[in-house]
Amino acid sequence: MLDKKYNALEKESKWLNYWNENKIYEFKKDDRKVFSIDTPPPTVNGKIHIGHIFSYSQTEMIARYKRLRGYNIFYPFGFDDNGLPSERLVEKEQGKKAHEIGREAFSKLCYQTTDKYEEEFQTLFSKLGVSTDWNIHYRTVSPSTIKISQTSFLDLINKGHCYHKESPALWCNECLTSIAQAELETKTIKTTFNYINFKTVETNEEFTIATTRPELLPAIVCVFVNPNDEVHNHLIGMNAHIPVINVDVPIMADENVAIDKGTGVVMCCTFGDQTDIFWWKKYNLPLKYIFTNDGKIINDVPNYGGMKIKDARKKIIEDLQAEGYVVKIEELEHEVQTHERCGKEVEYSVMKQWFIDIMNHKQDFIKIGNEIKWYPKHMHTRYDEWVNNVAWDWCISRQRYFGVPFPVWYCKDCGEPIFAKEEDLPVNPLVDKPNIDECPKCHGKEFIPETDVMDTWATSSVTPLINMRYKEKDNYEDILKPMSIRTNASEIIRTWDFYTIVKSFYHFGQKPWDNVMISGFVMADKGEKISKSKGNSKFEPIDLIEQYSADVIRYWAGSGRLGTDIVFSEETLLRGRKLINKIWNVSKFIEMHLQDYEDKEFNDYEYIDKWILQTFQEMEKGFINYLEEFEVGLALNTLEKFFWNFCDNYIEIVKHRLYRPIEFGEIPRYSGQKTVYTILYKLLQDFSIFFPFITEEIYQELYHQEKSIHLTNIKTLTFDFNKELKNGNDIIDIIKEARGEKSNKNVSLKTPIKNLDLHLNKDLKEGIELSIKDFKATLFIENLNIKDIKEGYSIDNIELDLESID
């Protein structure tokens, strides 16, 4: 028998153990169709917040739904533990920079730290009821992952999509590494717009340039003016004298100069921003790079060499002011590109870096995007927009320690890159030696290892390859090409989704998945997205699970429309708690009345039973339609609505028949038993997608045909009662109205109705006559008079037996 009260904490840990011991979620190849899920490996940088709970739960519900629909579920969980995020976590915890700790010791600390957090993560996700098979989980630092990343790299090298080149790259002088465009985050900062006077060398004519970055004055290589700018175009062809720096540079024409921006005259440096780089390439301008990689002015620059960028900015403004070159200084708020991992403004640097070709295949990436179904649809637009806007090839090398090493050495003599052989992977060039005796180009015999590591996205973009154990023995390439679905939040469409598509296109020439499902964000109280870096989440997932239970947290996570941001609210949790409590209580009620029940063929259903069976059947159709579109929230909503109708209306009617077989007859009672037995079973199945714990507890107590409710199959009902049931809902409405009458008179709902006069149309009259016993019992009617009416119904007279109250 079910307990009087449901103890969620105790039951949830009981079923967790049971599922583990009985390998309920184990993946094994068999003859069923596979539904495979490429779920994001969370970055191991500290904390899981409720935003994660939200989006991972929605994915998890899809897994459960598909499992109940007979699919063999391939649902591995991963952890993204390599790369910069982990390094920053360790640096933060140690209070020291990586280079201060040293490469080897630092990597060791990274492993220790990520191990610790991954255990916490795994516990948390398990407690949430995530139905993953932990035996197929992966880590992005594991040797097998490193091997696949390196294999992927070599494959791209062989196919000519990856190259090593000295080229300007985005540089973070906080993290001391190059980064990719996708890792940029725009931030608004306050700065000053400085109007500085220049003079032409030829005519000594003054003109003004406005800049936010006067420290770049020593890096100016030329000045640009728009040829259509009538105020300034006469300067073209002359030379400009840079104040304070005392260097002359040419004044050139380019139509990219916006006449109305600043003063309409632009100084061009290598490298101040992307336009500068564009001009540098277009006009083959000289390279004048004045920053060191750790954010200082190089020593060669007179007066400012060795200063930090921001100090140099101050100093140079002071010097300009002292000599009277500053016309005015305006306060300015503008958007700058920062590195998303540390929030510091990015610079540009020129070093040899590894790049993956993006720019030559944009159209292919758009095409693949079109072949994938995006849920919700408008997320496809975001993808397209990103691909169309990408301006750089993907720089995948990072001047860091804790990542996948490049399987590359360089010939000491000629610099030729030597690649590892595929069969030797994984390799660490710092430890391993290349598998050749001499450089094929110059016959040099000494090799220098590549010290850079790969961008973390270079690894996470191969999660489909990791999942399919690309090129390994016993791999899953046959069933996972493509995978069924990728799920993630919208912020990583430009990174994870995009890069995965890039890699899948280069490796296989095809889409990595059939579907992409994008969840919304969880917002903190008003309007602000919850994020790890902002630390604006008040609630700890683990506390919430302990306080409310995993099922209740999942109720919250499963509400809301796909792709739509939601605000975290404890009210929703309370609503979920009530729903779960109700499921428990109605199950207890049904269990009570099924003590003598035996399931057998039966067709002689009572009218009201037919009504609820038919209503359920139609609800479930809509429910399934929503889930096929991955709209878990709308599906849950549909189900919940039916469920309350079932409890408050149907159960209230049928309970009289269940309690009093002598009065109502054994067959009508059996009809009720069979109905509640059938519907509760199906309700439990449908609810198990959202509430895996409580539904398992009830299922095991009442049904237990299979090892677990999560191994059953949803079979839709195929009743056809619609012809007989013309007015089922109207009968409910009449009951509600009559109850309302009692409520308005402030009497108990059990108060007998002495006389009830009803006007009913033909169909409704037929319906009530077919359910006359149920109808009268539900409302405690003593005398019922039915009169005909053409359309609809009306309650003409309701006479309560008020004396019987006391």
Partner RNA sequence: AGAAGAUUAGCUUAAUUGGUAGAGCGUUUGUUUUACACACAAAAGGUUAUAGGUUCAAGUCCUAUAUUUUCUACCA
Task: Identify residues 739-798 at the interface with RNA (CB under 7 A).
Answer: 739-740, 742-744, 746-750
Q: What is the residue whose two structure tokens read 């595929």?
A: 422
Q: Is 490 in the site for RNA (CB under 7 A)?
A: yes
CA atoms within 13 A on the CB side of 663: 10
Question: What is the SS3 assignment for 800?
Answer: strand
Phi, psi of 723 (to 5 degrees): -65, -35
417: nearest Cα among 153, 83, 170, 177: 153
- State the minimum distance, in angstroms, from the CB of residue 230 to RNA: 16
Question: In terms of CB distance, is 491 or 701 closer to RNA?
Answer: 491
400: nearest Cα among 451, 366, 324, 339: 451
Listed in sequence order, the residues at least 6 apart from 107 whose beta carbon sits closer than 8 Å to its beta carbon are 401, 402
Nearest-angstrom CA–CA distance, 716 and 400: 55
Q: Is 287 in the site for RNA (CB under 7 A)?
A: no
Question: In terms of CB distance, is 107 or 751 closer to RNA?
Answer: 751
Part of the chain binding RNA (CB under 7 A), chosen from 234-242, 315-323, 332-340, 765-773: 332-340
Q: Is 203 in the site for RNA (CB under 7 A)?
A: no
- State the minimum distance, in angstroms, from the CB of residue 91 to RNA: 24
Beta strands in 183-286 (DSSP E): 184-200, 206-211, 220-225, 239-242, 247-253, 265-269
Q: Residues 302, 305, 308, CA angle at the centre, nearest 5°? A: 145
Positive or negative: CA dihedral 203, 209, 215, 218:
negative
207: left (phi over 0), alpha (psi -120 to 50) or beta: beta
Q: Is 736 in the site for RNA (CB under 7 A)?
A: yes
Q: Is 209 in the site for RNA (CB under 7 A)?
A: yes
Question: In terms of CB distance, is 121 or 171 closer to RNA?
Answer: 171
Q: By CB under 7 A, what part of segment 153-192 binds RNA?
A: 181-182, 184-186
- State the minimum distance, in angstroms, from the CB of residue 658 to RNA: 8
* Residue from 257, 368, 612, 627 binding RNA (CB under 7 A): 257
* Residue from 42, 243, 482, 633 binding RNA (CB under 7 A): 633
Q: By CB under 7 A, what part of segment 526-565 binds RNA?
A: 527-529, 560-561, 563-565
Question: In terms of CB distance, is 212 or 460 closer to RNA?
Answer: 212
Nearest-angstrom CA–CA distance, 474 and 472: 6
For residue 794, the tally of other CB atoms under 10 A from its CB is: 12
Part of the chain binding RNA (CB under 7 A), chosen from 279-287, 412-420, 524-532, 694-702: 524-532
Question: In terms of CB distance, is 387 or 480 closer to RNA?
Answer: 387
Q: Is 256 in the site for RNA (CB under 7 A)?
A: yes
* Residue from 37, 68, 251, 266 binding RNA (CB under 7 A): 266
Q: Is 597 in the site for RNA (CB under 7 A)?
A: no
Q: Is 314 in the site for RNA (CB under 7 A)?
A: no
161: nearest Cα among 6, 328, 393: 393
Phi, psi of 79 (to 5 degrees): -125, 130
Nearest-angstrom CA–CA distance, 322 and 448: 50
Part of the chain binding RNA (CB under 7 A), chosen from 34-42, 424-432, 454-462, 735-743: 735-743
Q: Is 432 in the site for RNA (CB under 7 A)?
A: no
Contact at 8 Å (CB) between 751 and 779?
Answer: no
Q: What is the residue whose two structure tokens read 């059947």?
A: 617
Question: In terms of CB distance, is 77 or 457 closer to RNA?
Answer: 457
Question: In terms of CB distance, is 98 or 544 closer to RNA?
Answer: 544
- How many residues bind to RNA according to rule CB under 7 A? 95
Q: Is 730 in the site for RNA (CB under 7 A)?
A: no
- State the minimum distance, in angstroms, from the CB of residue 763 to RNA: 15
Q: By CB under 7 A, what part of segment 366-385 binds RNA?
A: 378, 381-382, 385
Q: Is 644 in the site for RNA (CB under 7 A)?
A: yes
- State the minimum distance, in angstroms, from the CB of residue 320 to RNA: 14
Q: What's the helix, strand, coil split of the chain in %, to 5?
A: 45, 20, 35
- State the minimum distance, in angstroms, from the CB of residue 434 to RNA: 38
- One-letter amino acid at 671 equals S
Question: In terms of CB distance, is 371 or 648 closer to RNA?
Answer: 648
* Residue from 321, 389, 785, 794 binding RNA (CB under 7 A): 389
Question: In terms of CB distance, is 260 or 300 closer to RNA?
Answer: 260
Q: Is 648 in the site for RNA (CB under 7 A)?
A: yes
Q: Is 386 in the site for RNA (CB under 7 A)?
A: yes
Question: In terms of CB distance, is 56 or 383 closer to RNA?
Answer: 383
Report the first-to-last Cα separation within the chain, whole angstroms.
36
Question: In terms of CB distance, is 346 or 709 closer to RNA?
Answer: 346
Q: Is 567 in the site for RNA (CB under 7 A)?
A: yes
Nearest-angstrom CA–CA distance, 640 and 438: 71
Nearest-angstrom CA–CA distance, 283 and 702: 79
Nearest-angstrom CA–CA distance, 58 and 92: 32
Q: Is 574 in the site for RNA (CB under 7 A)?
A: yes
Contact at 8 Å (CB) between 521 and 530?
Answer: yes
Listed in sequence order, the residues at least 6 apart from 490 whose beta carbon sits closer than 8 Å to its beta carbon are 379, 382, 518, 519, 520, 521, 563
- State the minimum distance, in angstroms, from the CB of residue 136 to RNA: 31
Q: How many residues does the chain have?
A: 806
Strands 781-788, 753-760: pairing is parallel
Part of the chain binding RNA (CB under 7 A), chosen from 453-461, 681-689, 737-745, 756-764: 737-745
Listed in sequence order, the residues at least 6 apart from 798 whose beta carbon sits closer than 8 Å to its beta carbon are 738, 741, 753, 755, 756, 757
DSSP string, 9-55: HHHHHHHHHHHHHTTTT-----SSPEEEEE----B-SS---HHHHHH
* Residue from 236, 238, 327, 336 binding RNA (CB under 7 A): 336
Strands 34-38, 483-489: pairing is parallel
Part of the chain binding RNA (CB under 7 A), chosen from 134-142, 207-215, 283-291, 420-428: 207-215
Instruction: Report residue 483 as tokens.
Output: 């995978």
* Residue from 5, 159, 282, 310 binding RNA (CB under 7 A): 5
Per residue in 80-102, is it b (16+ CB within 10 Å) or e — as a string?
Answer: bbbbbbbbbbbbeeeeeebeebe
* Residue from 172, 210, 756, 779 binding RNA (CB under 7 A): 210
User: Would you give the binding string for RNA spanning residues 340-359, x where CB under 7 A is met?
Assistant: -----xx-------------
Nearest-angstrom CA–CA distance, 411 and 722: 81
Question: In terms of CB distance, is 469 or 575 closer to RNA?
Answer: 575
Q: By CB under 7 A, what part of segment 576-595 binds RNA?
A: 577-578, 581-582, 585-586, 588-589, 592
Question: In terms of CB distance, is 442 or 749 closer to RNA?
Answer: 749
- State the minimum distance, in angstroms, from the CB of residue 792 to RNA: 9
Q: By CB under 7 A, what part of segment 85-104 binds RNA?
A: none
Q: By CB under 7 A, what part of segment 110-139 binds RNA?
A: none
Question: In terms of CB distance, is 86 or 637 closer to RNA?
Answer: 637
* Residue from 71, 111, 134, 193 binding RNA (CB under 7 A): 193
Part of the chain binding RNA (CB under 7 A), chosen from 46-54, 96-104, 265-273, 502-510: 265-273
* Residue from 231, 258, 430, 448 binding RNA (CB under 7 A): 258
Give the Å distances, CA to CA, from 126 to 43, 59, 77, 134.
17, 14, 11, 9
Question: In terms of CB distance, is 105 or 332 closer to RNA?
Answer: 332
Part of the chain binding RNA (CB under 7 A), chosen from 233-241, 295-303, 321-329, 522-530: 522-530
